[in-house]
Amino acid sequence: MILLHGLFSSAQVNWVKYGTAARLAEAGFECLMPDLRAHGQSAAPQDPAAYPRDVLARDLEALVAHLGLTDYDLVGFSLGARTATRGVLAGLAPRRLVLAGMGLEGLAGWSRRRDFFLDVLDRFGTIPRGDPAYFAQAFLKTMALDHDALRLLLGTNADTDPAELAALTMPTLVLCGAEDTDNGNPDRLVDALPHARRAVIPGGHMSCVTEPAMGLALADFLGAAY
């Protein structure tokens, strides 16, 4: 399976640190966990030409082609879920799909989320506790990321028309923390997908990836007949 991490994060933080990848490996899965462009150990170029529209989906397509993958599952959390969706719309065909930390508005209304994170970068280091952007700032402080590259990356994602989601015909799990509405309404996303169901684990958007329930829910969905 391919596991795609969230914005400002990395494969190490999202999937390894809290044991999710280990639980999936114990369940018999081979986990491929790339760091997205401008994140983790991946390059963070500052040339605007390195950030065309849907560049992360293009990177994902290139990875699948390079490895010759034809029989794989695709899991994305938050930005990773958005990347997975755009990759499938571009022609990728995973067996099963997991969109974690995602609601319909996080796909259809990306421009609003983009502006939120651009504001975090603009006010970085000055955002007070109690501000809605405070916890995003706090998390970003823990990651050694190039803010100029992130700003370029944030401009590459496009809104997804809900009608386009009819093309995601593979079995799909919408997996969110019980307190997570950062990317909109997960039930509306389930309703927009032709073959989807929802799973709920403890936590909010930033804390649910720390929960053992994340790996258990993924293993349960991906290891069972749909």
> Are 224 and 141 contacting, i.e. CB atoms less than 8 angstroms apart?
no
| pLDDT given at position 226 | 39
Q: For the chain, what percent of residues have pLDDT higher than 70? A: 99
**Does 21 have pLDDT greater than 50?**
yes
Confidence (pLDDT) at 224: 64
pLDDT at 136 over 70: yes
Domain spans of the chain?
A: 2-223
pTM confidence score: 0.96
Determine the average pLDDT of the residues in 60-77.
97
Nearest Cα to 38, choosing from 141, 152, 198? 152
Mean pLDDT over 191-207 rounds to 97
In tens, the pLDDT along 181-196 reads: 999 999 999 999 999 9
CB environment 117-140: b (16+ within 10 A), e (fewer): bebbbeeeeebeeeeebebbbebb
Residue 76 phi/psi, 5-degree rounding, is -135, 140
pLDDT greater than 50 at residue 149: yes
Q: CA neighbours within 13 Å on the CB side: how many for 168?
A: 32
CATH architecture, domain 2-223: 3-Layer(aba) Sandwich (3.40)
In this prediction, residue 225 carries a pLDDT of 42
